[in-house]
Structure formats: structure tokens, C-alpha cells
Structure 1
């Protein structure tokens, strides 16, 4: 027998549903994007990794500085939390300004000064993202040049890598850090024009030491050779809404889900950070702002594919 709810029960349920919806909205628009900060740790067993090389890497992606969504006190909180992790190396994966979502833009020079306060024995290294190009009006209008944030970071001693590689040492063990130029530098040709040059970047590597590669957009992962031990990417923000392990706002790349997390494809490894900021809409739900912490060399090494 079907038992219908009473009017009072119906109104109580309706009120509870409305309250839950309102609470979810407050959480998604305010609490998660602007107040939560987590550390997401990975200790992947990587192919072509030196088992004697122990490396602790902090990965920071997609700040999108602006008011009210990423003010400088929030950036300072992220810097302090990163320094407390005592990383050997800090990597910045691009998208420093916020774009059209900003109520008020913030000076990138001040942001660069704050990045200078990151502390790691092997330094802080950066790449550029699409918003570093898109939000630089001079570069966009001239269709050439270099985004101002590159100079601002380099003036603070932070190398910005564009299709380049550098050989670093930890405890006498070498590894290569490589960084690709952005794949979507201009708004109106982002599907057709990429500055990323994989052959040039990997051509700068002169020995068999392991390679960590920084690429702002994860899309290029399908094109990378297995010479790269680990690819690091941002850009997606994990979809900003991620529920039940899915990010519905992020399209698949050649049938592969590159939205978030540790991805293994054909024996190659990529970690996509959810980053910190927001874009298009000021919402995060199920993918809180995160510092990615890599503990490399601490697991049994996987065999080469």
C-alpha cells in the first residue's frame, strides 16, 4: 500500500531540501574555493627513476590571483603551508592572473615577490599557462612578445622555462627538470597554435638521468615519449566540480580522462593538480584547493614499459 506523506511531512522535507541546497551553494561558492587548503601527496613508482634519488617536490598550480577569490593573504597562506612541507624543489605550473572572473585584478609584481619567499634547496622553477598569455593585453594585441609575468618572476630569481631543460642534483644524484611553453597562448587560435615544442625540450637532455616535465595543459601527455619519467600539469582545476570521481566540465583527450590526479597510460605517468584558483565561475565542489606533494624514490621502482 502506498502511504503518502502528510502536508507537514512534505513541507518539512521541502524545507530540508532547500536548506541542503543553500548550504551546498555556500560551501561551493565560499568555503571550498576560498577557505579550504589541502596537501595531496603522491609517491608514484616511476619507470626510469634512479632508486637512489629521493626527492620531495611541492607543486603549485593555477593561482589566478584576484579579489575576492585569491587575495594576497590567501597567497601568503599557500606560501607558508608550502614552506612548512620543507620541499627540495618547488614547481609553479602557470596561470598566475585570474582573467575575467576577477572583481579586481592584483599586481603581478607583488605576486612575484611573494613567490620569491618560497624556500627549497633546489629552488623554485616555473612555466607559463594560457592565462599568463591571455591576460597580457599588450601581448594579445600585438600577437607577439613575452608575457610580463615571465620577466617579473625571473627578476625574483625564479626561472620560467619555455621549451627548456635544466640538470639538477640531489645528494649527488642527477635528474632533469624540463618545462614546455604554453599550448594555448592566443585566445582566438587556441585550438590551432601551440608554442610547446617537445623535440626541442627533450633535445636539451644530454644523458640518461630521470626527467620530470612541466606542462600547463595536460592534453600534450598523449604525445610524450616514455623518456619522461613523470609529467606534471595543471590547467583543469580538476573541473572545479568533481563528484564520484568524475569531472563533467572537462572533455576527454583522445578518449582519455586527463581531468585530475595520477594518470598512467601506456606505462607513462602524469599527475594533474587541481590547483588553487577558479576560472569562468567562482565554484569548487569536490576538488578543494591543493598543494601537490611528491615523494619520489620512496617506493619500489616500476620496470620500464
Structure 2
């Protein structure tokens, strides 16, 4: 622990040192430089103090989210400056070494810093600085309705054109704006889908987080073919220290009850059949199964009695489940709906052209639609937010999936 603190302190010292070098190259007024140093010191002390006050028996709070936002807003730009200034130092050392061996006249090992390098670094650093502030003030509630049409040759005829609204990762304990959440619920209702599916993480940790929002989410209108949900990894309350197992279990039972309080049927490693006329499909819901998270999901139990020939829609919170167990499963799960990744709440998306996030280095399927041998998984980018109280580039999502019978049109 002491060694980790030492390494973090050393890292922050280097970042602060190089960032100040960039600032000093451009600003010559001594009082401004002193003001910069004072503000930086105060911010760093606040961040360190807040992190030391983290209580694992409580978990994430408004203060921890504010601290995380402040840390990212301050140190992401400074890290970019550090990389630029460090790169310049490597160049300066290399150039000085060359001059030394060539015995140049008027030898000076290190040239003075070049102003334009600092200008470029500050210009680039301003991009994440502004983006992270936008993410906290606007992006976290900038809801997007994403519509996706998926074709299946063996879709039962009656379900051609059937629409499913998917929401995921509500994280109600992070909300701080009732007006924006009500707006999002209005968007959900406007889609007028046949069914709505909620793929887990109703809270961050505690069931009480959802209590102020129950009436809001009860406003999600009744859908003709039902409202169903599964659990996410945060719904098990495993990211805090509990006084005892009894309290942890009581919280877990209360969280499961929350889904019913907002009129969703919770599927716990089980399935039901959705019938329309003479046709039907199997809706299957598993508990959380994550390659690096809780493995409570049991696909065998959930699909027991479901025929290989049945059309199937599976709800599984973590997309790694699809990657590791579902996409090549003998029972042929046609469509899996997942969430979990949030797209890291930070990335770049140009719909239809480009999509990037740090999430892609952790999850093979992290946002949007993926296919393997005619089997699909759709990863919802999440309704809420967690840890960092904002979203940059990867916006909160309400998904509308339309099932179509036939072959995909190129």
C-alpha cells in the first residue's frame, strides 16, 4: 500500500512538473504562475483528501463522483502536456548528445524549450479538458434513441416487425436531475414498442438508491407483450463491505424487489414464451455472468426445456457471456441483449463510420450490434452513469430493436 502511494505521488509530481514547464513557457507574469501553482496545490490536496475519505461500507457517493470528475478534468490535460514536454526533452537530450560527440562550437547540451511545442500541447490538452466538462454538465443526460433492425430467416412470421425497447445500467444512485430523467422516460414511452427489456444494474449498490425514482420509472407505460428484466453485476451489492451476510442478503432481496415495484418481471435463470397468434418465441433471462465479474448466470437452467428450433431472445447483462458461452452454444440463441460496459462513458463515435473507446480493449463486444454465424448480440451503452459523473462521446442510450423476417439486405 505504501509503495503504491509512493508511485502515485511520484507520477503526480512528474505530471505537475511537466505541466508547469509548459505553462511557464507561455506565461511570463509571475503572479499568474504563482496563482496556477496555488490552485493546482489546492485541487490536488482536495483530491487526495477525498480519496482517503472513501468508505467501503458505503461505496460511491456524490463526493466520490465529484472527486473523480475533478481528477479527470485536471489530470487528463496535464498528462497530455507531460507527454508532449517529455517528448521534447527526449529530442533535446538526443540533439545535445549529437552535438557533444560532434564537438560543435558554442556547445550547449540542452537547447531552450520551444514555445510552439507548448502551444501545441496546450491546444490538444484543451480538447479533453473541455470535453470532460461538457460530459459532466450536458453529456450524462444527452439521451440518444438508437434504432436497429435485425433480420432472421427463421423468425416466426407473426413477429415480423416486432419492436423491443431496451434500457440497461440505470445506476439510479448517480442521478441528480429529476427533470432529465423524466425526459428520458418520456423518450422510452414515445417509442411505442411491443415489449421493453431492462438488462440490469438498477442501482450502484444499495436498494435505497432507487427509492426516490420508483414513481418516475413506474411511468414507463405498459407494453403489449410485457416488461421484463434481469440482474446486473451491481445488483448483488458486492462492491462494498457489509457488516454481515444477513444485511447483504436483505439488500439483495430488496434490489430484486425494486424491479417489481417499477412493474418489470424479473427473470432469474428462467424463461417465458411470448405468444402472438399461433407463433411464439422464448424470452430467456440469466442472472449476471461476467468473465471478470460474478458468475451467477446459468444458461442451462434458464433454457431448460427450450427447443433448439425455438426462436430465442436472451437477456444477459455482461456481453462477455455472449463471447465466452453463448455465440457458439448448441441451442442457437438468436439474439442476446446486454449492457454493462457503458462504452466506458468516454470515446468517439461517428455513426456508421467510426467507433472507439477504451472499452474495446477490455470487451470484444462493447457497444452496438455484433454478429457471429447469424447469431447477434446488441450491447446497450447504458441509461445512467457510474464513477465518472459524465459522458463524453458515448451517450446514454435507449435502444429500439425491430425484428424482421428474412435475409439481411446488404
Q: Shared topology, TM-score over 0.5?
A: yes
Please list the CA deviations of residues 204-238 of structure 1 after superposition, one character each: whole Å capped at 9, or x if unmatched.
42584311100011111031125211000000012
For residue 287 of structure 1, the aligned residue among 394, 398, 407 is 394
How far is the alpha carbon of 1:24 from its aligned partner? 2.0
Say whether the 8 Å CA contact 2:344–2:357 is kept in structure 1. Answer: yes
Cα distance in 1 for residues equivalent to 2:381 and 2:243: 27
Cα distance in 1 for residues equivalent to 2:299 and 2:212: 32
Residue 36 of structure 2 aligns with which residue? none
How far is the alpha carbon of 1:197 from its aligned partner? 0.3
Say whether the 8 Å CA contact 1:64–1:95 is kept in structure 2. Answer: yes
Structure 2 regions of 5+ residues with no counterpart?
A: 1-113, 349-353
How far is the alpha carbon of 1:154 from its aligned partner? 1.8
Residue 236 of structure 2 aligns with which residue? 133
SS in 2 for 1:278: coil
Residue 381 of structure 2 aligns with which residue? 274
How far is the alpha carbon of 1:47 from its aligned partner? 5.1
The answer to whether residue 229 in structure 2 is matched with residue 123 in structure 1 is: no
Say whether the 8 Å CA contact 1:260–1:274 is kept in structure 2. Answer: yes
RMSD of aligned C-alpha atoms?
3.2
Say whether the 8 Å CA contact 1:99–1:279 is kept in structure 2. Answer: no
Residue 335 of structure 2 aligns with which residue? 230
Residue 267 of structure 2 aligns with which residue? 161
Say whether the 8 Å CA contact 1:108–1:152 is kept in structure 2. Answer: yes
Residue 187 of structure 1 aligns with which residue? none
Q: Going by fraction, where is helix more abundant, 1 or 2?
A: 2
Residue 297 of structure 2 aligns with which residue? 196
Structure 1 regions of 5+ residues with no counterpart?
A: 1-6, 185-189
Say whether the 8 Å CA contact 1:261–1:273 is kept in structure 2. Answer: yes
Cα distance in 2 for residues equivalent to 1:106 and 1:182: 21
For residue 345 of structure 2, the aligned residue among 224, 235, 240 is 240
Choose 131-140 or 164-173, whichever is displaced more.
131-140
Aligned length: 281
Say whether the 8 Å CA contact 1:40–1:292 is kept in structure 2. Answer: yes
Q: Which has the higher contact order (CA 8 A, sep 6+)?
A: 1
Please list the CA deviations of residues 144-195 of structure 1 after superposition, one character each: whole Å capped at 9, or x if unmatched.
56441211322453211110101112354311111001126xxxxx847511
The answer to whether residue 213 in structure 2 is matched with residue 111 in structure 1 is: yes
Say whether the 8 Å CA contact 1:94–1:129 is kept in structure 2. Answer: yes
Cα distance in 2 for residues equivalent to 1:25 and 1:97: 24
Report the CA distance shift for 1:169/1:110 in structure 2 as closer, same or farther (over 3 A).
Answer: farther
Cα distance in 2 for residues equivalent to 1:19 and 1:195: 44
Cα distance in 2 for residues equivalent to 1:127 and 1:238: 20
Choose 222-231 or 140-149, whichever is displaced more.
140-149
